[in-house]
Amino acid sequence: MNAALSRNWKHAVVTGGAGFVGSHLCTALLGQGTAVTCVDDLSTGAHENVAHLRGMPGFRFVEADVTESFETGRDVDLVLHFASPASPADYLRLPLHTLDTGSLGTRNALLAARAAGARFVLASTSEVYGDPLEHPQSEDYWGNVNPVGPRSVYDEAKRFGEAMTTAEAGTHGTDTGIVRLFNTYGPRMRGHDGRAVPTFIRQALAGEPLTVTGDGRQTRSLCHVDDTVRGILAAAASDLRGPVNIGNPAEITMLGLAHLIIELTGSRSGVRYIERPTDDPAVRCPDITMARGKLQWEPEVAPRDGLARTVDWFRRRQAA
């Protein structure tokens, strides 16, 4: 990380810390000497994601639902609010919990940050742009979101969380930031969470057809979790309120991704086309001008390299 945008945090609270991105944040923070309290209700996170951290000096796990009030120590100087179902399989299974986490959970995390005088960073998402009519998407684009569609429980929870974070900063002067994450992938994803990368890898390793929705021409921009974590911590160490896009502008079609994963796994799998989900975005690509200029951040892991590493992780996990 750029030295100007690093900070020696004393004690960080990571809500959703046993989830995919949250667990990588816990690991990175502990690695730089920050004590970490990981708060997770395990509705979508897992003990195994933080098993390697248990017993490490400065790490504490608290099983709690952030939609209920929780307190942090007065020595806390950073609150990273990452609690939320984030994959289609999860937010469609837990629609009300997703909305509660984005509203009540965000409120409680903000209150904890305000009480401790801590910096607060909200994990938002590229989903706030919906099925975008602007491409690539910059932070000043308001989005094209269906407020009553099947994806709305996640989209609107994050949009509301952004509004609440902004209101908190304006009303109480709380030090807040917002990061909009684009299609993060890497180790600790679940094979059945409904996202394209783990789904395709699981299917390819099993020799099953890769299920591409629609005609496969819809695009996503894949950012390796190591790059995402660097971007999040750069935003946390800055005074930027955001929102700021954290993602990789290297755009790929879903059909192209399927063929790349077949190649990387050496699988004999083919492709099977299935119905495209309602409100599935046709394009997704971040404009990272702000992150480059304000945070001196940009992704370093090329999608091909990151996907190869992710395939290796899935292979090792399967073998174990």
Determine the distance from the C-alpha atom of residue 3 to the mean position of all C-alpha atoms in its chain, rounded to a whole number: 24
**Looking at the DSSP assignment, which residues form a beta bridge with residue 13?**
37, 79
154: annotated active-site residue: yes
Cα-based angle 298, 302, 305 (whole degrees, multiple of 5): 145
Instruction: Give start and end residues of each alpha helix (H) in the chain.
Output: 20-31, 88-93, 95-100, 106-116, 152-172, 196-205, 225-237, 254-265, 289-295, 303-319
Catalytic residue selected from 91, 129, 141, 154: 154
For 286, phi and psi rounded to 5 degrees? -85, 140
Residues 191 and 222: their CA atoms lie apart, in Å, by 17
Q: Which of 250, 265, 234 is nearest to 300 (CA)?
A: 250
**Which residues are marked as active site?**
154
